[in-house]
Amino acid sequence: MKTSNFKIPPGKKIKVSDYQTDYTGDIESKKVAGTFLKANIKKMAELQDKLYAHDRYGILIIFQAMDAAGKDSTIKHVMSGVNPQGTQVFSFKQPSAEELDHSYLWRIAKAVPERGRIGIFNRSHYEDVLVVRVHDLVKRQKMPEKFTTDDLWRKRFNQINNFEKYLYENGIITIKFFLHISKDEQRKRFLRRLDTPSKNWKFSAADLKEREYWNDYQECYEEAIAATSTIFAPWFIVPADKKWFARLVVSNVIIDTLRSLNLKYPELDEKQKEHLNDYREGLMKN
């Protein structure tokens, strides 16, 4: 599978409707995808171990999507084999009063993974050019009077690009996934949440309210992705009607990214190797 098929080139204007939500390529079934995913999870575990030991890079994985697109389950299944000590997950909800008194990137910067770790954002700073834009919540964010909504989004796109470039230049590699689900598939998943007692808790009346803004969200995603897919922090539009295929694509992209870093275990110099022999001899005596 070529992950480049899902990657959005810098500056490319897109229509999300041009991208299939039920695409599965040459993967014939959930069973086949599961076999590949299992192998990928093993590869990721090996590469994560090197990432931690190498300690030169960190990986930031961002998931954005419409409700019920499968962000939680993708994180759960794809990252199931990695070492929890080297991974951290943050889920960004509605900002608190304290967070609203800071810039919108403040809470994001605090959660960025350190070198050697994989950080996962379930929603992110992109909420501030998506839900904030759809619902015109600018006033609640206490923006300075000199900023108008006409130029606010362009400024934020530039700020986000600069922030992600700063991370890249300091060893934090950002990968961004838009899990692309159809409106019809979302309806089916909402109905399953209502009909399955163990999933009732996942449903909220707010989900239906947000569904009314479907077209607005699609337009905002189009503009945000086109404006912020860069060489150093690319966007991937992942078909998500089939969860099993979305998980496979995500795992492939993560593996490709980790491999591109040429990760290695630290090598000891001759003096350090001599010390190892001394330690070995000491342990043999004791």
Q: Could you report the per-residue pLDDT of 72-111, keeping only the tens digit for each? A: 999 999 999 999 999 999 999 989 999 999 999 999 999 9
- Binned at pLDDT 50, 70 and 90, residue 242 comes out as very high
Q: How do the domains of the chain map onto residue ranges? A: 3-285
Rounded CA separation 144/263 (Å)? 44
**How much is the pTM?**
0.92
Which range, of 97-101, 140-144, 150-154, 260-264, averages the lowest pLDDT? 140-144
Fold of 3-285: Rossmann fold (3.40.50)
Contact call for residues 174 and 228 (beta carbons, < 8 A): no
49: closest CA among 248, 243, 213, 258? Answer: 258
Rounded CA separation 172/216 (Å)? 32
**Centroid of chain to Cα 216:** 22
Q: In the prediction, which pLDDT does 146 show?
A: 55
